[in-house]
Structure 1
Amino acid sequence: MASALASREDLSHAQAVALVSRVEESAGRLAYEHKLTAADIDPAAQPYAALALLHEGVGDPERARRLAADPVVERREQLAACSGLPFDVAETLAVDTDVRVVAELALWTAPEVAVRLAGHPHAEVRRAVAANEATPPAVLAALLTGEGLPPAERCLVCDREETPYVHDPECPRLDCDLLPGASCDGSHESTIHGIREAALRNRATPAEAVVGFAHHTSPLLRGELAVRPDLPSEVYERLAADHHPGVRADLAENPAIEDALIRMLAADRGHDVQRRLAHNPHLPLDVLTGLAATTKFGPTLLPRIAAASPVEIEELAASPHAAVRMLLAQRHDLPPEIRDALAIDPDAKVVKSIAAHPGLSEAQLRAMVDRHGVRVIARVATNPDASPALLEGLTRHEPPVRKAFREVARHRHTSAPALLACLTDRQARPIAAGHPSLPPQVIAELLTDTEWQVVEAAAANPSLALATMAELVP
């Protein structure tokens, strides 16, 4: 309830102060919505509220200094995640006795503190420094190779277990938070791998420092390299020939690869390579049309289709391949003449894709249902211009289409008779219970439903009678 109240736009300042005094956990949302000031909070009595304000850049630096010495580790850890901390507070947190606090600071801190923490004896802190986008490039390069840095002395694995140790991915201990497969033989190998992974993912790491990882034995590291947009073409060529299909799939979606590599990857039958390539925004249309004939993309608007010019749209609409026309139909900003042509396409997959397009008339939508029946009904039900009469008719279709009931139940134009029909479907029932067009008497009856989701939706229905609400409140 406190969370819902904190999110209300009409909450006054006085109400916000009253709310946080009763439920301190609501401070995060209230601070984010700028409904609290530093003067509203007593940091001694409401430390988490004070932290929430510091996260939003509101609060007295002296409060940060007091929290840096707080005996509760979780509070110091939350403080370490705040940006813009006074330098002396960051210095205090950097030498905290709990590595979780120092690692959290390393993830968010300013460059000068990140430089210091890059040589921290604990490998977990170094991993956080490697992920920090404010870390200077030269330091990130050093973290990749270890050159110029003293060897790490500890990691989370050897902190807790006698080495050599490999954490069982199926570990039965409920209090264990080590990552699956975490290992240490004295060299902290799994955390060192994590440091390299974070540094490769960090766009501030200079390209010249990462290119050597194209030959690394870990496909995870090569995959991180494959998505970077700043590498020489010869590195991309090496990755395009990688023996691991996951690396090639990561590369396929990279907008920085050149036309020749795109065409090479278009012929790659490795797992997910062609599907990921279809999401490359620089994919030539002729390559995309070729992929459409052999690859399933699902109901998604591909970047290259979204960026197609008016001339290209006409070419795609005239394609002899239904799969290509289906991809174009995912656009909801098509010229009316193109939209209308696709609405009468002979292929049901194309019609299904265009059915949700705004601007289609009721006659066009009914014609789709008449021609293609159950194959398009659920999509027709999502059309924003579908009329109450059409939606009601979709619920009476024989044979019934269960997915259509769910779409009708959430449609803004749905009438009471259609909603009553939707209540007969188990999955559509909780959706229909929350629709404001449902009669108040029916809503009241649903408050005693055997399914709690239905009861909750009915209780939140804005058409629930005020008198019924009053009866429910003690």
Structure 2
Amino acid sequence: MNHVLCGLAANPALPSHLVDRLTAVADGDVASALAARADLTQAQALALASHGEDCAVQLARAGRPGAEHVDPVSHPDLALALLDEGVGDQRWARRLVADPSAARRARLAACPGLPSDVVRTLAVDPDVQVVAELALWSDVPDVVAGPVRHPHTAVRRAAAANEVTPPDLLAALLTGEGLPPARWCEVCEREAIPFVHERACPRLACALPPGARCDGSHGSAVHALRRAALDNPATPADAAARFAGHESALLRWSVARRPGLPAAVYERLAADPVPGVRADLAENAAVGEQVLRTLADARDIDVRRSLARNPSLPLDVLSDVAGTMKKGAAPLPRIAAATPAETARLARSPIPAVRLLVARRRDLPAEIRDALATDPDAAVVAAVASHPGLREAQLRAMLGLHGARVTAQVAANPDATPALLDELARQEPPARKALHAIARHRHATPAALFVCLSDERARRMAAGHPALAPSVITRLLADDDWQVAEAAAANPSLPAEAMAAHIL
């Protein structure tokens, strides 16, 4: 891979004539970077579409080129990608449904709004994967109803994952009641049964997943089908509840995530021997308060952390588990949903971990934000230091009170002034994390960015900063670190002559 060319392909300042030159020599990675550009002409988009399926899909998702410029014979992958985006010509579908490539027919089956005659043809395709894609992605219940009874478990599993599958059929897929037995699975269609696939299979070309097994009852395939149905929110709650005591922890895990189950089911799962099941239950907003309080007594830290992320958690329980949260975590749903009165009360909590959770919110009223900015706990101040709206005097007061413990967060404040960033960049010993924040800060000066080049990680970010001196950017194209060279090549302040010199 030529990393300088990849960077140039992504450079928004690359002139159009150099885009043409780069397209002519682009490999897969460079073509992908070019396809992400917002300034491509129709001719450039068509030229890039010839670089392969991935590039064609990327272009289609960006709406380039228009359908009127596409020939499905010469650009079938691009035509499929446009159909998948719902902006293609439906006449293409009638041509592509007869494509000799099963992979292309499978991609067609996943497209929305297909003509009814095309859907009927895909539904009886000889390739199981084609029918499975139709079962998974069709938004017409009547279309999915047929695959529910398909003799292959892969097709049934796809229908089990589709939310438009009628609820009664999802219940039947989950329990097996009322459906004819499947005749094939991915194991018995390839191997003599009984067969259990080794987890460390020595066969290089083997496509079976580890642990796949079949003794005639399609064991692993039925298990995967049930997981798909349990994870489908359209599956009836009463059918899902029957699996709360299943011997498979993975199936119980799926049940624990579901809303709308009877309280007795959640109570049973709260005593599950597998911590992962209880952890997912703890994060389920549908679980009642009593179950949440029971889970709060758990010793397993993952259960308590999941509980803290539950948007329905009582605030007193949240205070009990606040100390389990990892440093730097995103604001918790319950904290984000707190009323103004609750937020004010939490911000005054005697527990620093609770005040820390509040400080992570980015929509705090100014008076609460300012109060937390003077908190005696450095972790709380560090969490609030990057909030927009803080004045330079407040940021300097934080540094004076807590020093290196908040330097990086102060440097990340969007309102930090160029003068303050310059001072933080010159600190001795260097504050490495602060340099990382300065290297991507919109107010960073050329002088501060030059200091950032002394740190390996900050160097990679500073190389792409448009405020860096053009002469320095040009030198960085030859840097030993490919990430630095690529970032420099993508820098819009790179001189045009330096761009042209690297595109042969």
Q: TM-score range by the shorter chain?
A: over 0.9
335 and 30 in structure 1: CA distance in 2 versus 1, 3 angstrom threshold: same
Match of 1:357 in 2: 387
Larger displacement relative to structure 2 (351-360 or 298-307): 298-307
1:375 aligns with one of 405, 429, 450: 405
Equivalent residue for 1:86, pick from 112, 115, 118: 115
Distance 1:305 1:186 in 2: 51
3-state DSSP of counterpart to 2:242: helix
1:181 corresponds to:
211
Number of the residue aligned with 1:215? 245
Structure 1 residues 426 and 21: CA distance shift in structure 2, 3 A: closer
Between the aligned partners of 2:80 and 2:154, the Cα distance in structure 1 is 24
In structure 1, the partner of 2:336 is: 306
Offset of 1:308 from its aligned partner? 1.4
1:229 Cα deviation (Å)? 1.1
Aligned to 1:399: 429
Matched, 1:342 2:353: no
Deviations 1:67-103 (A, max 9, x none): 1111111111111111222222222222222212121
Q: Which has the higher contact order (CA 8 A, sep 6+)?
A: 2
**SS of alignment partner, residue 213 of structure 1:** coil
Q: Which moved more, 1:388-397 or 1:299-308?
A: 388-397
Range with greater deviation from structure 2 (456-465 or 28-37): 28-37
Question: Per-residue deviation at 1:339?
Answer: 1.3
In the TM superposition, what is the alpha-carbon distance from 1:18 to its structure 2 partner? 5.1
Report the secondary structure of 1:117's partner residue.
Answer: helix
Aligned partner letter, 1:441: S
For 1:211 and 1:24, the matched residues in 2 are separated by: 43
User: Which residue number corresponds to residue 9 of structure 1?
Assistant: 38
Which runs of structure 2 are paired with 1:70-469 in the superposition (5 Å)?
A: 70-109=99-138, 110-293=140-323, 296=326, 298-469=328-499
| Alpha-carbon distance change, 173 to 387 in structure 1, aligned in 2, over 3 angstroms | farther
Cα shift readout 1:195-247 (whole Å, capped 9, x = no counterpart): 10000111111112111111111111111111111111111111112222111
| Letter aligned with residue 434 of structure 1 | G
1:347/1:267 CA distance change after superposition, 3 Å: same
- Please tell me the residue identity of whatever aligns with 1:362: E
- What amino acid is the match of 2:93? A
Quick one: distance in 2 between partners of 1:100 and 1:115? 17
1:130 Cα deviation after fit: 0.3
**Amino acid in the other structure paired with 2:132:** A
Q: Specify whether residues 11 and 282 from structure 1 end up closer, same or farther in structure 2 by C-alpha distance, changes over 3 A only.
A: same
Shift of residue 161 of structure 1?
2.6
Check whether the contact 1:275–1:297 (CA below 8 A) recurs between aligned residues.
no
Structure 2 counterpart of 1:388, one-letter code: P
Pick the aligned partner of 2:97 from 65, 68, 73. Answer: 68
- Per the TM alignment, residue 117 of structure 1 is displaced from its structure 2 partner at its CA by 0.9
Count residues in correspondence: 474
Q: Does the C-alpha gap of structure 1 residues 374 and 168 become closer, same or farther in structure 2, counting only changes over 3 Å? A: farther
Moved more, 81-90 or 436-445: 81-90
Q: Which is further off, 107-116 or 34-43?
A: 34-43
Residue 463 of structure 1: how far off its partner (Å):
0.9
Return the offset for 1:271.
Answer: 4.5
Any stretches of 5+ residues in structure 1 without a counterpart?
none
Provide the C-alpha distance between the structure 2 equivalents of 1:277 and 1:294, rounded to a whole number of angstroms.
Answer: 10
SS in 2 for 1:428: helix
**Would you say the 8 A contact 2:452–2:458 is kept in 1?**
yes
Give identity over the alignment, percent: 61
Partner in structure 2 of residue 52 of structure 1: 81
Distance 2:179 2:307 in 1: 39
Residue identity in the other structure for 1:47: P
For residues 83-140 of structure 1, what are the alpha-carbon distances to aligned partners after superposition, in whole Å with 9 as ceiling and x for unaligned? 2222222222222222121211111122112111111111111111100111111110
Determine the C-alpha separation between the residues in 2 that align with 1:219 and 1:431. Answer: 44
**3-state SS of 1:334 partner:** coil
Q: Distance in 1 between matches of 2:324 and 2:87?
A: 55
Judging changes above 3 Å, is the alpha-carbon distance between structure 1 residues 284 and 36 closer, same or farther for their aligned structure 2 residues? Answer: same
Equivalent residues of 2:243, 2:251 under 8 A apart: yes
Give the 3 Å change call, closer, same or farther, for CA 401–163 of structure 1 in structure 2. Answer: farther
1:31 paired with 2:60, answer: yes
Q: Are the aligned partners of 1:299 and 1:353 in contact in 2 as well (CA < 8 Å)?
A: no
- The DSSP-based 3-state class of the residue aligned with 2:403 is helix
Given that 2:301 and 2:324 are in contact with CA atoms closer than 8 Å, whether structure 1 keeps it comes out as: no
Q: Distance in 2 between matches of 1:55 and 1:105?
A: 13
Matched AA of 1:327: L
Q: Is the aligned partner of 1:42 residue 2:71?
A: yes
In the other structure, the counterpart of 2:14 is none
Per the normalisation by structure 2, the TM-score is 0.89
| Amino acid in the other structure paired with 2:238 | E
Moved more, 265-274 or 188-197: 265-274
Name the counterpart of 2:15. Answer: none
Specify the SS of the correspondent of 2:243: helix
The question of whether the paired residues in 2 share the 8 Å contact of 1:2 and 1:23 is answered with no
Q: Equivalents in 2 of 1:108, 1:458: separation in Å?
A: 42
User: Cα RMSD (Å) of the superposition?
Assistant: 1.9
Alignment CA distance shift 1:447-1:5 (3 Å): closer
Contact between 2:453 and 2:462, CA under 8 Å: does it hold in 1? yes
SS in 2 for 1:308: coil
Q: Secondary structure at the match of 2:244?
A: helix
For residues 56 and 192 of structure 1, the distance between their equivalents in structure 2, rounded to whole angstroms, comes to 32
Aligned-partner residue type, residue 331 of structure 1: R
Contact 2:52/2:77 (8 A) holds in 1 = no
What CA distance in whole angstroms lies between the structure 2 residues aligned with 1:294 and 1:393? 35
Query: CA–CA distance in 2 between the matches of 1:457 and 1:378?
Result: 22
- Is the CA contact (8 Å cut-off) linking 1:405 and 1:422 kept in structure 2? yes
Aligned residues of 2:195 and 2:214 also touching (Cα < 8 A): yes
CA distance in 1, matches of 2:232, 2:199: 27
- Aligned equivalents of 1:52, 1:296: Cα separation in 2: 41
Match of 1:399, as an amino acid? P
- Partners of 2:51 and 2:292 lie apart in 1 by 59
Structure 2 distance, partners of 1:56, 1:294, is: 43
